[in-house]
Every structure is written in structure tokens, then in C-alpha cells.
Amino acid sequence: MKTLIIHPQDGSTDFLKPIYSNIKGKTVLTEGTRKKVIQEIKKHDRIMMMGHGSPSGLFSIGRFDSAYAIDGSLVELLKKKECVFIWCNADQFVERHDLKGFYSGMFVSEVSEASYCGFYTDQATVNESNNSFALWLGEAINNPLVEAYSSLLPKYQALAKANKVAAYNQQRLYLK
């Protein structure tokens, strides 16, 4: 399986890199043009998109030639692929466009996001949640998405018993 990772370069989401570090033969796009994104999506079987985003798509963080690295204009291409969508409110994007794959809802990955979501936490708790999520998903990501999800979820749920960031996030992980 040929895997494309679209992960706009942004130090605040570097914690996600372990998710794809063990994928053999992957292509990683951290910046580029819309034309390049389309070409690469067409050439790959699995598309993994991660970083900061909104219900409208994956933010480009100024690394691509439009505001979004992934948006509604790419839906028809994505419908033909196995997809992973990890950004805040990706669930709204996936559900609105009737896409399938592994995806997240609002995903707290920073202290300020926790505050926005109505709870206080510290950086150590955020780091533990972020790093554990990325490590566990990375350990399973070479499997079919059903297996990767089934492997990640019980570990992350166990962490959620003592980590309020993981408790919030684990309720917002989906597989469709």
C-alpha cells in the first residue's frame, strides 16, 4: 500500500510524526501546491492528513498555496482512498462530505485548546496525551484501519482514566 502523509510543517504538531515514522515507502508532504497535492493523492492508496484544522479542512499553515492543504475541493479524490483525518473538528468535515476512514473530532493538543474546551490542564498532561496517542497509533498504523483503531482505543481509554486530555480526546475518535 502506498501511503501519502499530508502534514503541514508546524512545530506545534510535530508530536504527530511518530504516527507515520514506521511506514515504509511513504511520501510526506509538508508544503506544496494544490496541483502537487492532487497528483500525490491520485498516486497513493492511503491518505493520512494531520495538523491543525477546522470543519472546513486541514489548515495549510502557510505551507501550501491556499488557506487549506485539504478542503472540500478534494472530496471526490478522497472518497476513492483509505483515509486518516487527524485535526480539530475533522469529524465535521468527514461527516459533511460522507467520507470514510479514521478521524478525530475536536482534539485537544495544547493547553489553550483545553481551556477553550472548558477545562484546565497543564503542559505535562497534554504532552502525555499527545505522545501516547501518536506512539500507540504509530505502532498499529501499518495494519488495516479497523485493526489500528482497535489497537489504539483500549490503550488510550486506559490512559484517559488518569489523564483528562486523553479522556476528552478518546471520546472524539471515530472509525467509519
Residue range 77-95: mean pLDDT, rounded: 98
Quote the cell numbers at residue 160: 484517559
Quote the cell numbers at residue 59: 489548515
pLDDT range class, residue 112, cuts 50, 70, 90: very high
Taking only the tens place, the pLDDT of each residue in 11-59 is 999 999 999 999 999 999 999 999 999 999 999 999 999 999 999 999 9
**Contacts (Cβ under 8 Å, ≥6 apart) of 151:** 136, 139, 140, 143
Quote the cell numbers at residue 120: 484546565
Taking only the tens place, the pLDDT of each residue in 116-165 is 999 999 999 999 999 999 999 999 999 999 999 999 999 999 999 999 99
**Contacts (Cβ under 8 Å, ≥6 apart) of 160:** 166, 167, 169, 170
Interatomic CA distance for residues 68 and 39, integer angstroms: 16
DSSP summary character for residue 158: H
Q: Would you say 34 and 74 are in contact if contact means Cβ atoms under 8 Å apart?
A: no
Interatomic CA distance for residues 67 and 58, integer angstroms: 9
Q: Please give the pLDDT value at position 86.
A: 98
Residue position matching grid coordinates 508530536: 15
Interatomic CA distance for residues 37 and 20, integer angstroms: 18
Q: Would you say 128 and 164 are in contact if contact means Cβ atoms under 8 Å apart?
A: no
Is CATH 3.40.50 the right assignment for the domain spanning 3-175? yes
